[in-house]
Amino acid sequence: MDGSTGQGTTSVDMFLRNYKLGKTLGIGSFGKVKIAEHSLTGHKVAIKILNRRKIKNMEMEEKVRREIKILRLFMHPHIIRLYEVIETPADIYVVMEYVKSGELFDYIVEKGRLQEDEARMFFQQIISGVEYCHRNMVVHRDLKPENLLLDSKWNVKIADFGLSNVMRDGHFLKTSCGSPNYAAPEVISGRLYSGPEVDVWSCGVILYALLCGTLPFDDENIPNLFKKIKASIGVLNMTLLAYFLSDLTPSFCYDGR
């Protein structure tokens, strides 16, 4: 499983023989995700089966191609791994790392606010993965707990790079994308941005959610939500944050040596 793409009939037949497809993990707008097991190694994977016609009709071809292109280049313990891609006239099979513990979002909903040690562990892993992206000139642009998956050992895996983009020195981005609650002021204002700063903002929102169990900026009315973000007017629980952050930040710098 090396990230290669095969398009011939023989390659597709071999691919289908190599994997035993299991239950469906999820169904999306243009495909589904199934758990599968490699016939020889027993290694479990998640296979996205994407319907070409639906992708084209929904004008999502660029999003799919971008995610595949970026994930092929990445190898990091806190970024979801892409193993291989097989294309047929009807479908695209994307074989990815299987993570069994679901989304960080569901974990936060279940537990409410996290204890400092646990929040620190998750956040360190998120920052490690994001820093790797930026070092390789990629900005994610849609960081949120729903796109942070947890493996069997509760390690974070950054996923869903469909809205990501490649950064170039001296060039700026302007596209407004991502989830409103996690979007940086420059993104929702349509201002130019270099890239990393919008991911850093999203990470700050995620950290708040980890520690407080709620979002710092929230409103059912999107224009009102954007006003709050741009004015930094939120529902910040400063008492709770002060308690957690009194020794949280210094501990990020401690490596145990």
Task: Tell me how many domains the chain contains.
Answer: 2
Residues 17 and 116 in one domain: no
Residues 143 and 226 in one domain: yes
pLDDT digits (tens, 9 = 90+) for 83-114: 999 998 999 999 999 999 999 999 999 998 99
**Interval 182-201 mean pLDDT:** 85
Residue 257 in domain: no
Residues 115 and 220 in one domain: yes
- The answer to whether 48 is annotated as binding is yes
Host domain of residue 138: 104-252
Residues 55 and 78 in one domain: yes
Residues 108 and 129 in one domain: yes
Confidence class for position 12, pLDDT limits 50, 70, 90: confident
Residue whose tokens read 């469906």: 24
**Interval 184-207 mean pLDDT:** 87
pTM for the model stands at 0.84
CATH code where residue 53 lies: 3.30.200.20
Domain boundary among 45, 63, 97: 97
Q: Which residues are catalytic?
A: 142
